[in-house]
Amino acid sequence: MFIDKARIYLKAGDGGDGKVSFRREKYIPNGGPDGGDGGSGGSIIFVADSSMRTLMDFRYKRKHAAANGQTGGANNCYGKSGENLYIKVPVGTIIYDEQSKRALGDLRHEGQELLAAKGGRGGKGNAQFATSTRQAPRFAQPGEKGEEIWIELELKLIADVGLVGFPNVGKSTLLSVVTAARPKIANYHFTTLSPNLGVVELDPGRSFVMADIPGLIEGAHEGVGLGHDFLRHIERTKVIIHVLDVSGTEGRDPIEDFRKINNELKLYSEKLASKPQVIACNKMDIPGSDKNFERVKLFLSGEGYDIFPVSGATKMGIKPMLDRVYNILETMEDEEEIVEVDKDLLYHKYTDAKEFTIKRENEIYVIEGPLAERLLASVNMDDSDSVKYFQRVIRKRGIVDELKSMGINDGDTVKMGNIEFEYYD
Ligand SMILES: Nc1nc2c(ncn2[C@@H]2O[C@H](COP(=O)(O)OP(=O)(O)OP(=O)(O)O)[C@@H](O)[C@H]2O)c(=O)[nH]1
Ligand SMILES: [Mg+2]
């Protein structure tokens, strides 16, 4: 099994700050507060896209940030929200939180989405803090920070393209010159004993997975040779590159080879036989190969095959063949693959996570978690209105209840981030 991995950093947009502002109108000396709310920061969302086949592209871009929300304006104007950032990943990608090593989710279906980093909420403007007794609030709420997270992406690669052919025709050599895979290559039959996988990268944004398999011989469908066990591997590929040795150095005829292999594929399964095939006439660097190539071309031209003269040794002709393969891949429907993600690892960040936790460290009650962080970011302890707001929130959100159930007494110390205060009911 070949697993593609990528490690990326996400930074969701920060919420915009709320605005402190007072109405200014001619002849009205003390206008009321009119500071608007900040806009929310953009979130980062993964979306499964079946046109992507590998995680190659993430090598070029490690850091992904969504836009920040804008600060609120005077006149009760809202700040503009930052746009969400959608990051495309191949269908079948599993998304891990790198730090906890837990899976945030897996994307099995085209178009499926997963929220991975939440944008910060915008802060409230001072207009929102006006009450009958507090007519001129001189504070507003700062925007909440957007989430930051290191993500590990993981994708089980399934070959899009399979190399088939007789032993020794140069399948592994082709794989080795177009991918980073290093299969064993040698001048004898059945060098390859099990399939090798590699990622072919034509350009950024255009890549696919290719596999070689052991050479096939007559009777392979019944288990002769080694190929039979591996035919099921290519049964899952979308395109076959049928490799022929046109040098004739082994004394076989490439046209006959072609017929025999296709017959084996057909006897194994109709599905296999009906896959699109691109024909690689290999070893063109060996003198005398052109004649065989011309024969093959003439012979198969009426059958609608794409035929390419190539050499794994000199890399001649390979690029146009791979471009053609890619174009065929693009036209093909994806079969849905079921990726298995370990259920114990799965964790739903935005539903499982508790908003706050309280632990006791000696005589101090320490409050942590997203709610605590949000509060810290939005409260100004030097401002009495802001402190009142803080007190209201910790009551309303159940922090006070939990402190009581833990046995807190008046005068005990409570700690939240870098602030400490004494508790009084
Ligand atoms: N001259 C020449 N030799 C090649 C070329 N491609 C492969 N060979 C040689 O052919 C031999 C077989 O190559 P492999 O890539 O191992 O062939 P294979 O099809 O993977 O063989 P099996 O795994 O045994 O089925 C090796 O000695 C290669 O160096 C080519 O384009 N030109
Ligand atoms: Mg091989």
* Cα separation, 57 vs 118, whole angstroms: 23
Residue in this structure with the two tokens 């114990």, named with its chain if needed: 344
Report pLDDT for 315.
96
Work out the number of other CB atoms within 10 angstroms of the CB of residue 270.
Answer: 9
CB 389, CB 380: distance < 8 Å: no
**Protein residue whose Cα sits closest to atom 11 of ligand 1:** 187
Distance 210 CA to ligand 2 centre (A): 13
State pLDDT tens for residues 177-233. 999 888 989 888 888 887 888 999 998 889 999 999 888 888 888 877 776 677 877
Distance 212 CA to ligand 1 centre (A): 12
* Cα separation, 11 vs 145, whole angstroms: 10
Distance 371 CA to ligand 1 centre (A): 63
Residues within a 6 A CB radius of ligand 1: 165, 167-173, 185-187, 189-192, 212, 214-215, 282-283, 285-286, 311-313
Report pLDDT for 333.
75
Quote the Cα angle for 71-72-76, to 5°: 170
* Cα separation, 265 vs 230, whole angstroms: 12
Structure tokens at 132: 């009958």
Structure tokens at 405: 């159930």
Taking the CA of 164 as reference, the closest ligand is 1
Sequence-ordered list of residues with C-beta below 8 angstroms from that of 41, at least 6 positions apart, any chain: 12, 13, 14, 15, 16, 66, 67, 68, 69, 81, 82, 119, 120, 121, 122, 143, 144, 146
Ligand 1 atom nearest to CA at 214: 25
Taking the CA of 220 as reference, the closest ligand is 1
Distance 224 CA to ligand 2 centre (A): 17
Ligand 1 atom nearest to CA at 163: 19
Report pLDDT for 146.
93
Report, in angstroms and rounded to the nearest whole number, the Rg of the chain calculated over CA atoms. Answer: 32
Report pLDDT for 425.
82
CB 355, CB 369: distance < 8 Å: yes
What length does the chain have? 425
The mean pLDDT values, 10 residues at a time, for the chain of 425 residues are 85 95 78 92 92 86 96 93 95 89 84 90 92 85 93 88 94 94 88 86 90 85 74 84 94 93 91 93 96 93 90 96 95 64 52 75 89 81 83 87 91 91 88
Distance 170 CA to ligand 2 centre (A): 7
Residue 254, CA distances (Å) to 250, 260, 369 in order: 10, 10, 68
Ligand 1 atom nearest to CA at 188: 24
Distance 172 CA to ligand 1 centre (A): 7
Report pLDDT for 354.
66
CB 414, CB 423: distance < 8 Å: yes
**Protein residue whose Cα sits closest to atom 16 of ligand 1:** 185
Ligand 1 atom nearest to CA at 212: 20
Distance 241 CA to ligand 1 centre (A): 15
Element (H, E) at 258: helix 254-268
Q: Say whether pTM exceeds 0.85.
A: no
Sequence-ordered list of residues with C-beta below 8 angstroms from that of 239, at least 6 positions apart, any chain: 160, 161, 162, 275, 276, 277, 278, 325, 328, 329, 332
Structure tokens at 419: 């602030």
Residue 209, CA distances (Å) to 28, 37, 122, 145, 194 in order: 72, 49, 44, 39, 16
**Protein residue whose Cα sits closest to atom 9 of ligand 1:** 170
CB 296, CB 310: distance < 8 Å: no
* Cα separation, 186 vs 184, whole angstroms: 7
